[in-house]
Structure 1
Amino acid sequence: MTKELYVKRSGSVATIIINRVEKKNSFTLAMFKQLGTILEELETDQQVKLLLVKGIDESAFSSGADISEFLENRFSAQKAKTYNDATLEAIEKLYRFPKPTIAIIKTLAIGGGLELANSCDFRFATTGSKLGITASNIGIIYNLTSTKRLVNLIGPSKAKELLYTAKLISAEEGKEIGLIDYVYSIEEIEEKCLAFAEAIISKSSVANNGIKQVIHSIIDGENEETNEMEQLILDSFSSEDYKEGIQAFLEKRKPNFS
């Protein structure tokens, strides 16, 4: 049976590939649970410095949750809670993944698909890709966690516009409002994204992973360093990366981080 989610590795980069082409890469409940398991495994993989998430081909990044499951798995308040808890747990694991993450959006990212992309640190999209959250089309109130994430990216007015109208916008408009970071043609997006990824992984993982934690703490509302955050920062000064960075600077060469 074809795997609907699987991982490819290339050096320090791991890629989660969504492979459900016949359904525009929509996610079943089982796929959300599998995503959480994959993320747990990659989090502890010392070889992985950066994570990409993409669809298997040009047809879609993801069209979101598979609505055909809703009559069985999401058709009462209690069933909806069980479903929502499982899906949000996976999406939160992607958002809290301790290493840099990039979503490569080709053609389509709708509903839960855009929710997944918004949980990544960066979003690359192909020219003309369609983006939107269509919960209001089926009478669902979009969850607070993902709504907050959307508001942080594009502001409350634009978030309301997308959610109230359920309209689809282009990648170009998404870039204008801060939803998308970079837009490239289908022919060049992979090359551009990999070059961007290489620029990140050539730097210190100790620094980059720590920076991600600091920025997420700011987004979460922290205004002062907690004891844990202070210790995280101080620990970087005894890391091998710090020693190598200082030595490379003094020797006027590029650092070779472990």
Structure 2
Amino acid sequence: MEPLSEPTLHVEDREGGIRVLTVSHPARRNALNDALLAQLDAALEPAPHVRALLVRGAGGTFCSGYDLTRLGPPGEDGLLPDDPLVACLLKLEGHPVPSVALVQGAAVGAGFDLAASCDFRIGTPDAVFLMPPARLGIVYSPEGLARATRLVGFSRAKQLFLTARKLDAREALAWGLLDECLEDAEARALALCATLAAHAPLAVSGMKESFGRLARAPLEDADRARLRELRAAAFGSEDAKEGRAAFLEKRPPRFTGR
């Protein structure tokens, strides 16, 4: 599939109840922005004929993260700049039908989280996972931290987020970020979608919801308020501004702790 010139989510409903969602944003290596998130949110509305989701990126890159030119301090209304991302990925994670991420190339930041929000991840040998919020002066969402922790455990999740360690496909497979890694990952991902779509929808959705509830330890309201306070402070900090600038200018950041 040739990548489209404008940021677009291509939605294709295939035979057997498989919906293929392809993120295409060539200028930003498939980085997500609010327009793409709105399209993804719409494509995730439950439909009776959809029984499995395949999430992928166009042009050999899964997703390079969230478009940093769209980030900034919290709004006057208290909204954080990544609130739409958090809400959309929660919708994907909690979707009644199972989802498979086809990870080719980079899965960075929000792209890492997009893959982690799917039920399964099938990657190619060139897949790379990276979580850079510490380099950007950002406190990542508790929802995203929890997703990564459920996949790799607390110690390894801390390595990923606090050191911005990059994992190649081999390491990602060993750590549990990838379920499978093979050259013909697309065929395997579609075959897995076909298997998932062929089973009883109520049984699959019921067990998926059950797994989701078993995996989540609910935070108290005071915990959520404190985490949101920490994130708002980070988004509005000079370090976050410097982190974005350094990333876009391809230079080391100069953090001051302010």
- TM bucket normalised to smaller: 0.7 to 0.9
Q: Give deviations 1:205-257, integer Å, cap 9, x for gaps.
A: 121111101111111249xxxxxxxxxxxxxxxxxxxxxxxxxxxxxxxxxxx
Q: Tell me the equivalent position of 1:226.
A: none
The residue identity in structure 2 corresponding to 1:24 is R
* Aligned equivalents of 2:151, 2:78: Cα separation in 1: 27
* Match status 1:94 vs 2:96: no
SS at match of 1:150: helix
In the superposition, the TM-score normalised over structure 1's length comes to 0.78
Aligned pairs for 1:93-132 within 5 A: 93-132=91-130
CA apart distance, 1:88: 0.8
CA apart distance, 1:180: 0.9
* Aligned equivalents of 1:122, 1:8: Cα separation in 2: 19
* Aligned equivalents of 1:95, 1:26: Cα separation in 2: 19
Is the 8 Å Cα contact of residues 33 and 87 (structure 1) preserved in structure 2?
A: no
CA distance 1:79–1:29, change in 2 (3 Å): farther
SS at match of 2:199: coil
* Match status 1:6 vs 2:10: yes
CA apart distance, 1:201: 1.9
Greater Rg by CA: 1
Specify which of 171, 192, 198 is matched with residue 196 of structure 1: 192
SS at match of 1:113: helix
Is the 8 Å Cα contact of residues 6 and 26 (structure 2) preserved in structure 1?
A: no
CA apart distance, 1:25: 0.1
CA apart distance, 1:143: 1.1
* Aligned equivalents of 1:51, 1:167: Cα separation in 2: 29
CA distance 1:168–1:207, change in 2 (3 Å): same
SS at match of 1:83: coil
Bigger drift between 25-34 and 61-70 goes to 25-34
* Aligned equivalents of 2:147, 2:173: Cα separation in 1: 16
Q: Tell me the equivalent position of 1:244.
A: none
Is the 8 Å Cα contact of residues 29 and 83 (structure 1) preserved in structure 2?
A: no
Is the 8 Å Cα contact of residues 13 and 49 (structure 1) preserved in structure 2?
A: yes
Q: Tell me the equivalent position of 1:46.
A: 48
- 5+ residue gaps, structure 2: 219-258
CA apart distance, 1:62: 0.2
CA apart distance, 1:80: 7.6
The residue identity in structure 2 corresponding to 1:67 is L
* Match status 1:217 vs 2:213: yes
Is the 8 Å Cα contact of residues 74 and 80 (structure 2) preserved in structure 1?
A: no
Alignment coverage as a number of residue pairs? 213
Specify which of 27, 36, 39 is matched with residue 41 of structure 2: 36
* Aligned equivalents of 1:221, 1:166: Cα separation in 2: 25
Is the 8 Å Cα contact of residues 52 and 194 (structure 2) preserved in structure 1?
A: no
- 5+ residue gaps, structure 1: 223-258
Is the 8 Å Cα contact of residues 128 and 172 (structure 1) preserved in structure 2?
A: no
Q: Tell me the equivalent position of 1:56.
A: 58
* Match status 1:65 vs 2:70: no
Q: How many percent of aligned residue pairs carry the same amino acid? A: 27
Is the 8 Å Cα contact of residues 110 and 133 (structure 1) preserved in structure 2?
A: yes
CA apart distance, 1:39: 0.9
* Aligned equivalents of 2:129, 2:76: Cα separation in 1: 30
Q: Give deviations 1:59-105, integer Å, cap 9, x for gaps.
A: x10001001222xxx23464783422222111111111110100101
